[in-house]
Amino acid sequence: MTHPAQLYFLLILPFFLLCICLDTVKVRWQIAQEFENQEYLQVSQNKLTEINIQLKTEHHHLNSPARIERHAKEVLGMVEITKKVEITYEK
């Protein structure tokens, strides 16, 4: 190799090394961001799971037969039929 070719080669190598180092730093930063996003999504998923369980519990409570029966008796004034009544219609 001639002297100018070696000089260009020596100038190009540090440039490539700098580019590779910067790319490595960028990739590591992106990986750190992805781990942070994953942790945030995991926390959000846990919160949504808790809310889902609470909503299911509330749904089952509001639609329970005992609650509906109590509502019918107290608010609507309905009573349970205790004896059988036959009604006949005359023509």
Query: Measured between alpha carbons, how far is 91 from 84 in angstroms, rounded to an integer?
Result: 23
Per-residue pLDDT of the chain (91 residues; tens, 9 = 90+): 578 888 888 889 999 999 999 999 999 999 999 999 999 999 999 999 999 999 999 999 988 988 888 888 888 888 777 777 777 887 6
pLDDT of 1:
58
What are the structure tokens assigned to 78, written together?
């309905």
Query: Measured between alpha carbons, how far is 79 from 64 in angstroms, rounded to an integer?
Result: 18
The answer to whether the predicted template modeling score (pTM) of the entire model surpasses 0.85 is no
Domain ranges of the chain: 2-76
What amino acid occupies position 39? E
pLDDT of 89:
81
For residues 72 and 78, the answer to whether their CB atoms sit within 8 Å is yes
